[in-house]
Structure 1
Amino acid sequence: MDLDVRVENGRRVIGRWDRVFEVLSAEPRRQLIVSLLDAPPDQTVSLPERAINPNVPVDPERLRQELHHCHLPMLADREFVEWEREPLVASRGPQFDEVATVFEALQSTATEIPDSLVIGCQRLEREREEEFET
């Protein structure tokens, strides 16, 4: 493979990973991705309810505003989700698999993740319990 092609491919992949981790840097976006993973691929999820961490109560109206003005446009711009304003719902976008794969990898290795990153995260706690039961 030509060096220029390798460099260009490397830059492209680095850019994609940077976008994935930027999106995952905020809890409402992580919760939304997890909610979409739990839903059938062609189904929408209601917001703001499905972007709330069940362990940390938030003001739903404030979150609705944040979703509308910040989180959903960012996710849609990267094609991870598609969303509608009324009713406020989201569904998987064409590039959803790029961001979903991070959560699937974490879930498949839940027993190896440090407790400090698992305790308090209901999904990882559940995955860890299921692994220990088998």
Structure 2
Amino acid sequence: MTQRTVDSSLDVTFDVLGDGYRRRLLVTLSEREPRHATDALDSAENAEARIDVRHRHLPKLVDAGFVEWDRETDELWRGKHFDEVRPLLELLSTDDDDDRL
């Protein structure tokens, strides 16, 4: 693997993990799958936030390969690259300070 590919992969990972909602969703998926997208949407505070989840957060997780999303059944499960991000999720979730997530 070239340095450029590694850098690009790290950039994608840190970009995805840069949002608290996406981190919490990935941690939740690490504990149990499949999940329904509507479960994740329940945590969204208003209609605008729910739209943001469906049109920004979930597609970004899918594009990175961390999440698979069946829009017809609304199910979410770990994507083909989920195991690449799992160690970072475990590190973040072992801290008692929930604000890190």
The TM-score, its normalising length taken from structure 2, stands at 0.79
Change (3 A) 1:85 1:12: same
Runs ≥4 residues deviating over 4 A = none
**RMSD of aligned residue pairs (Cα, Å):** 2.6
Question: Which amino acid counterpart does residue 103 of structure 1 have in structure 2?
Answer: L
Aligned positions, number: 101
Q: How does 1:66-105 map to 2 (within 5 A)?
A: 66-105=52-91
Q: Distance in 2 between matches of 1:84 and 1:70?
A: 16
Q: Which residue of 1 aligns with 2:20?
A: 27
Q: Which residue of 2 aligns with 1:106?
A: 92
Q: How does 1:32-43 map to 2 (within 5 A)?
A: 32-39=25-32, 43=33
Q: Distance in 1 between matches of 2:92 and 2:81?
A: 19
Q: Distance in 2 between matches of 1:15 and 1:24?
A: 14
Q: Structure 1 residue 101: deviation in Å? A: 1.7
Report the secondary structure of 2:45's partner residue.
coil
The TM-score, its normalising length taken from structure 1, stands at 0.62
Gaps of 5+ in 2: none
Q: Which has the larger radius of gyration?
A: 1
Percent same amino acid among aligned pairs?
34
